Amino acid sequence: MTGGGWFTELEPIHAVWGGSWGRVRFRYRCMATAPLVEKGIERAIEAIKGVRSVRAKGRIRSLAVEFDTELTDVYTLSEQILALVPPEHSPLPCRPRERRRGWGTTLLSSAAVLASFKLSPAILFPLSAVTAAPVMVKAAGDLFTRGLSSHVLEATAVAISLARHDFLAANATAFLLAVGEQLEETIARRSDTLLKDLMHPTDNEIWVERDGVEVLVDSREVETGDTVIVATGKVIPVDGTVLSGVALVNEATMTGESVAVTRRRGDTALSGTLVEEGRIAIYAEQVGSRAAASRIADFVEQALTAKSDTQLQTARLADGLVPMVVGLSGATWLLARDWERVAAVLQADYSCALKLATPVAFKAAMYRAGGSGMLVKGADALERLAAADTFVFDKTGTLSSGLLEVTDSITFDASYTAEDLINLAASVEEHYFHPMAIAVVRASERLAHPQHFNHQEVEFIVAHGVASDIDGKRIVVGSRHFLKDHEGIDTTPHEALFEDLMRQGKTLLYIGFGGQLLGVIALQDTLRENSAATIATLRQLGVQEVIMLTGDHRERAQATATTLGLDDFRAELLPEEKAEVLNELAAQGKKIAFVGDGINDAPALSGAHVGLAMHHGAEFARLAADITLLEDDIERVADAKRLALATERLIHSNFHLTVGLNSTILLAAAAGLLSPVTTSVLHNGSTILTLLRALAGPARSSRTGATVKTPHKVERA
C-alpha cells in the first residue's frame, strides 16, 4: 500500500493471531523530509484505536504492531497508519542513528600507554598503530566529507608522534582522546536524560464511569467528556476538571511544587500527577496525545534535535577556527622546526567545547523549565524570549484570572441577609457544573456562616439557569431573561442598579424565591493577585515596554492599565486586530513576547517573536505558542524570561571560557611550554569542565514576595 502522509509505503510481511489479539509486521518507507524518531512513530501509532503495542526499528524499516482483533484488522490498521501526518516540529531526517563507541578503545589505549614504558620499539610501533587506528579512521572520514576538522588535527598530532617514534605521546594522546570523547558523550546523553525525565507514562487501563457504572477500559478508549476515576497511588491519565471527591495530589512532576495540594470539585487535574491520598472523579478535557504529559513527550523529541541560532553560529565558528589552528601549527614549525611543538599545537582546538556546550546548556535549562511549570518547545524559543524587549499581554484569562469571583450580594427582602442569598443560590447551584455556579459555591464556602438549604430535585434549564423547591417555595437562579420571561418575576424596579453593576463590568445572577425577586449576585473576572508584581519583575529583567490588548470597553481597560502600571493598552479589539497590533509594533523594530490564552489569541501567538500560552488556555493557543505554562500562575512568565536570560549568560560565559582557555593552551604549546601529552590533558580537561558547567545549567532564581487574597464584598441593599 502507498500513501502520501508520514509513510509513503507500508507492506505487511508477516501476521499471527491469538484469539482476541493479532500481531502484524510491516516493512515501511517514510517521506524523505519526514521524521524517523522511533518513539514518535510508536506514540503516533499507539494512539490508533485497537492498537495494544508498537515497536519501530528505524534501521531496518520494520514496524511490529499488536492489536485487538475485535476493534480493528490489518487492512484498517494499514490505512490508518498511512493516513498519519508527521509532527511539524520534528526536524529529524529519515535516517538511522549513529552508533556510539564503547569503552573498548579506551581500555586498549590505556594498555598501550602502560606498555610504552616496558616494550621494545619494534613491538610498540605496531601496537601504537593499532591503538591510533580509530583516531585515523574518524579523521579520514571527516577529511573526505567535511574537510578539516578537530578530528583531522588530532590524527595529525598522533601521526607526528608515531613518525618521531614518540610512542608514549602517541598512545597517551589516543587514550586521552578516547576518555574525553566518552565523557563528552556521557554528558551530552545526560542532558537528554534530564529532558526525558519530564515524560510521565500512565497506566494502560483506566477506570471510567459509564451509565452510572465504573468500568476498567483501555487507556486508548478514553474520550473527551468521559468521567475518569482516579484513586490513591494512581497517576492521573487525563487533563480535566474535578467533578467530585477530594484528593491530595502530588504535582511535582508537572509544576515543580514539592508539597502535595488538595484537589476538589472545580479544580484542575493534570495528567502525569500522582494521587497520594483520596479519590476523585475527573471530567476528561484533554486525553491521549492531547494531554499535557503526552505533549511534553512530543516536545522532548523536538528539544533533543532542534538547533538554535546560537548553536548553529557556535558550530560554524568552531569549524572556522580549525584552519587557524592549522595555520598556527605551520607557523610553529617554520619558526622552531620542532615537530613536538607542532604535535602539541594540534592537540588543542575549540571545536568540542563550542559545539557541545551550547546544546547541553539549552537542554539543561529546558529541563529546569519543565520542573518549574513551563514547557519550552525548543532551544530557539528560549533564545527568542531572552531577546524580547516588549511584552504584550491579553487581558482576560492572562492578566485576569479568567475565573469569576462574587463581588456583590444584594437582597431586596429584609428577611434575608446578603449571606443568606449566597447560601440559597449555592444550595441549588452546587449541582451545576458552570463557572458562575462554581463561583457562587466557593463564595458560600468562604462565608463566616456557610449554610446548606435542603431542597427538592434540581431542574436544569439549558442556557437559562436552575430551579428547585425549598420549604415549599420555588427558587430559580439564572439570567434576567429566565426570571422575567419564563417565571414571570418583575425585575423593572431595580433596573438602574442592574445597569450600574453591568457598567462596572460585572455579570449578574438573579435569584427568584416564591415568585418574587429576592436579590442579585454580581460576579467579575478579577485581576490576578500577582499580575502587577510580575510586570514589575519583567521591568527589572530589562523589558522596555509592557502593553495590554483586550476586547473590553475602553474605560475598564484604562482602569486595569492604571492599576497594573502598564505603558500602553489597546481596547475594544476584535481577534484579528490583535495580530495587526503586533505587526505594527514589530514594524517599529520591537521584539515582542505575546502572552495569551484564548482561541482568538492563536494568530497573535504565532505572529509574535515568541508566544507564551497560559495553562488554562485554549488548545489552539497552546499549540501556537512557543512556551506553554503548566500551571495557572502568571508569575511563570517572569520566571521564563529570567531563565532565558540566565541561560544566555551561561552560554556566553562558556563561550568566553572556552576561547580563553584553549587560546592560552595553544599559545603555550606553540611556545614550547607544553608537551603533546600535557596539551591533550589540559585541552580535554577544559572541555569536560565547560560541559559540566553547561550541564549544571543556570542557577535557579528564588522568587520572593507574598500575596494576600482579598475577600469578596458582601453587602445588603
Catalytically active residues are: 394
The cell for 680 is 591533550
Burial of 267 (0-12, 13-18, 19+ CB in 10 A): middle
Secondary structure class of 393 (helix, strand, coil)? strand
Q: How far apart are CA 193 and CA 186, in angstroms?
A: 10
Find the DSSP H helices in 259-308.
Answer: 292-303
Start-to-end Cα distance in the chain:
75
CB 595 within 8 A of CB 392: yes
DSSP string, 646-709: HHHHHHHHHHHHHHHHHHHHHHHHHTT-S-HHHHHHHHHHHHHHHHHHHHH-SPPPP------P
The dihedral sign for the CA sequence 447, 449, 452, 458: negative
The cell for 442 is 466557593
Q: Which amino acid would we find at residue 519?
A: G
Secondary structure class of 437 (helix, strand, coil)? helix
Secondary structure class of 85 (helix, strand, coil)? coil
Instruction: Give kind and range of the element (H or E) at residue 510.
Output: strand 507-513
Phi first, then psi, for residue 616 (nearest 5°) are -85, 15
CB 628 within 8 A of CB 615: yes
The cell for 626 is 512557543
Secondary structure class of 588 (helix, strand, coil)? coil
Q: Which amino acid would we find at residue 583?
A: N
Q: How far apart are CA 490 and CA 504, in angstroms?
A: 23
CB 404 within 8 A of CB 439: yes
Q: How far apart are CA 399 and CA 374, in angstroms?
A: 17
The cell for 254 is 508537572
CB 353 within 8 A of CB 274: no
Instruction: Give kind and range of the element (H or E) at residue 329.
Output: helix 309-336
Q: How far apart are CA 279 and CA 246, in angstroms?
A: 6
Tell me what percent of the chain is helix, strand and coil, each rounded to the nearest 5: 50, 20, 30
Phi first, then psi, for residue 469 (nearest 5°) are -125, 130
Eight-class DSSP state of 27: E
Phi first, then psi, for residue 412 (nearest 5°) are -115, 15
Find the DSSP H helices in 96-149.
Answer: 104-115, 121-145
CB 172 within 8 A of CB 113: yes
A 10 A CB-CB count for 135 gives 24
Find the farthest-apart pair of alpha carbons in the chain and give their distance in angstroms, rounded.
Answer: 113
